[in-house]
Structure 1
Amino acid sequence: MTEKDVDPTLEVIAPPFEQREARLKRMQMRSWRRGIKEMDLILGPFSEAHLAQMSTAELDLYDQLLTENDQELYPWVSGAAPTPEVYLDLITVISAFARARHTPKPA
């Protein structure tokens, strides 16, 4: 995902004047404390592995994703339902990360 992939009309929901470090902590907390355990186990590790390297625009998109209902979000991540275009690239990255983490390594 690159800066050009982020929707320029995306509503930024970060509190005004929030420092990057505080924002990352807030977003990690929200990633680990979702509505359903499955999303905790997907977004928590993803946030720890990826948020620090994301651009401000990518963080804005992830922050917006965190406002989505888990009952809609989980089917997007699992591939059971089509993902809205605005989140497609981000969900693709999250899904690949989750699959890699949960796929047994060959012996």
Structure 2
Amino acid sequence: MSDTTGSTNDTSDTVRDSRRKRILFRCWHRGMKEMDLLLGGFANAEIDRLSEEELLELEHLLTAHDQDLYAWMTGRKPLPPEWDGPLYRRIIAYHDAAGPAGFVN
């Protein structure tokens, strides 16, 4: 019986790992090098610790246009409320703590 449980867990882990790899790839292949660094750098450091809810929020952020997302993240434009969420704030805090290398104000 433990074999069945183990194989189910292995399948779940494989699906989860596959999803995280896809998200990580999308974070590093945005089309704008600045966004690659902002999202990819965060994802490299945090992807394995993200909850299901955070993964969903990150996937949602990945649907935003690079120009808009970059303007919001650098403070050049106000962040629309529909894009604001705990993970967005966590990404900003991550880069604030890392220093100015990822942001051009």
Q: If the TM-score is normalised by the length of the shorter chain, which range does it land in?
A: 0.7 to 0.9
Q: Deviation of residue 93 (structure 1)?
A: 1.5
Partner of 2:44: 48
Which structure has the bigger radius of gyration? Answer: 2
Residues 52-91 of structure 1: per-residue CA shift (max 9 Å, x gap): 1111111011101111110100011111212122332322
Partner of 1:15: none
Which ranges of structure 2 fall in alignment gaps of 5 or more residues?
Answer: 1-13
Q: Deviation of residue 99 (structure 1)?
A: 2.5
Give the % identical residues.
40
Q: Deviation of residue 31 (structure 1)?
A: 0.4
Q: 2:88 & 2:78 partners in 1: Cα distance?
A: 10
Match of 2:57 among 57, 61, 77: 61
Partner of 1:31: 27
Across the two proteins, how many residue pairs are aligned to each other?
87
Distance 1:103 1:72, change over 3 A: closer
Partner of 1:90: 87
Q: Larger relative CO (CA 8 A, sep 6+): 1 or 2?
A: 1
**TM value normalised by structure 2:** 0.73
**TM value normalised by structure 1:** 0.72
